Structure 1
Amino acid sequence: MEQHGNGTDEISQMKPALQPLTSRLPDDIALFCLARVPRKYHTILKCVSKRWRQLVCSEEWHSYRRKHKLDETWIYALCRDKLERLCLYVLDPNSSKKCWKLVHGLPPRTLKRKGMGFEVLGKKVYLLGGCGWCEDATDEVYYYDASLNTWSEDAPLSTARCYFACEVLDEKIYSIGGLGSNSSDPHSWDIYDPLTNSWMFHSDPNIVPEIEDSVVMDGKIYIRCGSSAVTSHVYAVVYEPSSGTWQHADADMVSGWRGPAVVIDGTLYVLDQSSGTRLMMWQKETREWILIGRLSSLLTRPPCQLVAIGKNIYVVGKGLSTVMFDVENAGNMEGMIVSSSIPKLNSDDDVISCKCLSI
């Protein structure tokens, strides 16, 4: 009579157990120690062994560091060089020698595109849609995995888009409005769910295709549309996730939203570059815009983009010239914001957008 081996033994033979992280420590203790290694050394950790590489690139590592507040935030800046090619740079704000470094390997098909969406979700940087002189709007999506240092193609948008808004809300990417080949319904948006790796199409007549800026505040998405050349009126709408609809945004708040914006602890800050470089703050209680201060023209090189890490605001301008300050403790010297700076590159690259990614 034929005898069969134990099912568990057979499975263990088919799938060998993972090699321990270290020879003398349990894996949980090893993870406790390794997870405290600064992010700038993660590349070295991946070279130690295949097992360490798997750990550092895993979702377990990403989640553990985030749960225990060990994750570190770096800034990614999407730029365009003098040859009109896209390029991506990264900045470690915790480094003793702060400088922007080039991220290599952008997908060749994206290099000449304009109007692309740029967003960060989890440990990935996304490039979405876009168009070119000889290319209509596309639905292509690419992502850069910051742990693996690799580029890959992802699920395409539900509809081709160019010059559109892109934001993250509730761990999902929203691609809103813009121009595209689907001219029958330009008043639409797509929602990407990373759990299903799919996009869902929605439409709303309140969305205007021509979008200039967007921001997430108080759990809602605000998008600012083009202003009228005749009345200088700024039009904006806000997305209510509870109802899944778009409504007209607060007119008083929108009136001062005339530049790149960032939200810190529920407070909206805007960089007004119409006359010098001024940082404005929307005061909800009094419903008015307040001048925080001006930035030195010797340090900023407009047009600039904003990004925030904690209480710190980074103003990134042409050539990646960067000014940084604590919004609560910046102080004023004759109306000028006290700040520090990071030297620009040897190029005059234009900064399209800046995003933060934490690992």
Structure 2
Amino acid sequence: MNYHFMKNKHHLYQGIDQEIGEMKSAEHPISDDESDGESPNKDRSDSNQLIQPLGRDITINCLLRLPRSDYGVVASLNRCFRSLVRSGELYKLRRWAGISEQWVYISCSPLEWEAFDPDRRRWMRLPRMPPNDCFMLSDKQSMSIGTDLLVFGKEVMSHTILRYSILTNSWSYCTPMKTPRCLFGAASFGQIAIFAGGVNAQGIVLSCVELYNSETGTWMTLPSMNKPRKSCSGTFLNGKFYIMGGIGSNSVSYTCGEEYDLEKRSWRIIPDVYPVTCVPTSPPLSIAAVNNELYAADHAQRELRKYDKQKKRWVILGRLPEGVVSTNGWGIGFRGCGKRIVVVGTVRGMRGTGTVEIFSWEPVDGVPRWELLASRPFGSFVYNCTVMDC
């Protein structure tokens, strides 16, 4: 990188920082609780250009390295900046350049979500979900894929999906699955996610599998698993998709898992990958992949475990955070978040109030030492928790 590029990049950062600073102190102040929507002062400049002296390529190269919590302000500088953010182009370029941030998305209320940036310890409140009594009262699952947050629930006669886009800071109804379902196992990898098994509206346990592409908003059918299963857990590890545990037809509890090879488009059974049986009232296994290593939370024993690939068995690393409690295993988020494991739970107060707490540990040798990243009043139960990496 030459001197002139570095000098221009320095001036660009100064210019953007100055613009952001001015807008934060102007009529439309930006707070940690504010969404990434447009500013009322959105057309401060009608210019359709980026920063002309630097050119488009250098300008974009520097914008990629801004925290995405500042993209809402960047989008309000002028129409061209707004188009860059809302088109998703910046996020595609970030992915190609190997730049990403992992945010934790949490729901502690049936129609409310908040996002937390663990690097900058910043919160952002999402818009409320569209009012729908049936959907609000139904059990829900969530998954972050690319720049989308999908929330799966039920309407009166069918399953439905609501989609939140960080590009537009808004909710909309998502294209339904080819085989709508709930109680599935799923995991995301970049802009795709795989959804396996589950149960349909007639109560039939499924073996069918679908892939969602967040860039096209489309579903694709994949080869079915060897066994039908519901209430199972999914993860990506070493470039392959894994499904673990769950309950099959006739309430058969599985200790086996299955591995899906995306290149060969085939499944293979892994026997006794997690020899802890499930019951219909218990939540799916809480698993997280960090640095291509697999971890699990045993809520009953309040223990953190790691899978030993050589010995093909689980070993106990230590305790889960002491401040986090569950209701028979429900009400806790356990997720991989970049190089961290995060555990999300609540401390219950009086009259239904509560405080959500986020703990973090970056796996190293030795006993886990949990760091409290944030504590915030936001309800007394974690309904859903997911991590968006973009």
Instruction: Please give the TM-score of this superposition, normalised by the length of structure 1.
Output: 0.78
Once the two structures are TM-superposed, the CA of residue 153 in structure 1 deviates from its matched residue by: 2.3
CA contact (8 A) 1:160 1:182 kept: no
CA contact (8 A) 1:177 1:210 kept: yes
d(CA) in 2 for partners of 1:239, 1:126:
22
Report the 3-state secondary structure (helix = DSSP H, G, I; strand = E; otherwise coil) of the residue aligned with 1:280. Answer: strand
From the superposition, tell whether residues 230 and 59 of structure 1 become closer, same or farther in structure 2 (CA, over 3 Å): closer
Once the two structures are TM-superposed, the CA of residue 20 in structure 1 deviates from its matched residue by: 1.9
Once the two structures are TM-superposed, the CA of residue 54 in structure 1 deviates from its matched residue by: 0.9
Aligned to 1:6: none
CA contact (8 A) 1:261 1:268 kept: yes
d(CA) in 2 for partners of 1:205, 1:28:
45
**Of the candidates 172, 175, 184, which is equivalent to residue 195 of structure 2?**
175
d(CA) in 1 for partners of 2:70, 2:313:
45
Which deviates further from its counterpart, 266-275 or 165-174? 165-174
Report the 3-state secondary structure (helix = DSSP H, G, I; strand = E; otherwise coil) of the residue aligned with 1:323. Answer: strand
Matched, 1:114 2:135: no
From the superposition, tell whether residues 280 and 254 of structure 1 become closer, same or farther in structure 2 (CA, over 3 Å): same
Letter in 1 for 2:70: Y
Aligned to 1:324: 360
Aligned to 1:226: 247
**Of the candidates 281, 291, 297, which is equivalent to residue 271 of structure 1?**
297
Once the two structures are TM-superposed, the CA of residue 241 in structure 1 deviates from its matched residue by: 3.2
Letter in 2 for 1:324: S
CA contact (8 A) 1:117 1:175 kept: no
User: Any idea what the Cα deviations from partners look like across 1:21-68, whole Å, max 9, x if unmatched?
Assistant: 124331112223333322222221112111111112233211222333
4+ long deviations beyond 4 Å: 182-185, 227-233
From the superposition, tell whether residues 229 and 328 of structure 1 become closer, same or farther in structure 2 (CA, over 3 Å): farther
Letter in 2 for 1:87: E
Once the two structures are TM-superposed, the CA of residue 261 in structure 1 deviates from its matched residue by: 0.6
What is the root-mean-square deviation of aligned Cα atoms in Å?
3.1
From the superposition, tell whether residues 169 and 341 of structure 1 become closer, same or farther in structure 2 (CA, over 3 Å): closer
CA contact (8 A) 1:100 1:320 kept: no
**Of the candidates 220, 233, 239, which is equivalent to residue 200 of structure 1?**
220
Instruction: Please give the TM-score of this superposition, normalised by the length of structure 2.
Output: 0.72
Letter in 1 for 2:145: L
d(CA) in 1 for partners of 2:179, 2:253:
31
CA contact (8 A) 1:207 1:246 kept: no
Matched, 1:141 2:141: no
Aligned to 2:54: 25
From the superposition, tell whether residues 65 and 255 of structure 1 become closer, same or farther in structure 2 (CA, over 3 Å): same
User: Any idea what the Cα deviations from partners look like across 1:55-93, whole Å, max 9, x if unmatched?
Assistant: 12233211222333443221112x343xxx243221011
**Of the candidates 202, 208, 230, which is equivalent to residue 188 of structure 1?**
208
Letter in 2 for 1:187: S
* Higher Rg of the two aligned structures: 1
User: Any idea what the Cα deviations from partners look like across 1:156-196, whole Å, max 9, x if unmatched?
Assistant: 11122122222235743322222223567733222234565
Once the two structures are TM-superposed, the CA of residue 357 in structure 1 deviates from its matched residue by: 2.0
Once the two structures are TM-superposed, the CA of residue 315 in structure 1 deviates from its matched residue by: 0.7
From the superposition, tell whether residues 349 and 103 of structure 1 become closer, same or farther in structure 2 (CA, over 3 Å): farther
The size of the alignment, in residue pairs, is: 324
Aligned to 1:42: 71
CA contact (8 A) 2:225 2:258 kept: no
From the superposition, tell whether residues 317 and 100 of structure 1 become closer, same or farther in structure 2 (CA, over 3 Å): farther
Matched, 1:239 2:260: yes
d(CA) in 1 for partners of 2:99, 2:225:
43
Aligned to 1:308: 336
CA contact (8 A) 1:227 1:235 kept: no
Letter in 1 for 2:316: L
Matched, 1:60 2:96: no
Q: Percent identity?
A: 20
CA contact (8 A) 1:312 1:325 kept: yes
CA contact (8 A) 2:104 2:386 kept: yes
d(CA) in 1 for partners of 2:51, 2:252:
68
Letter in 2 for 1:158: K
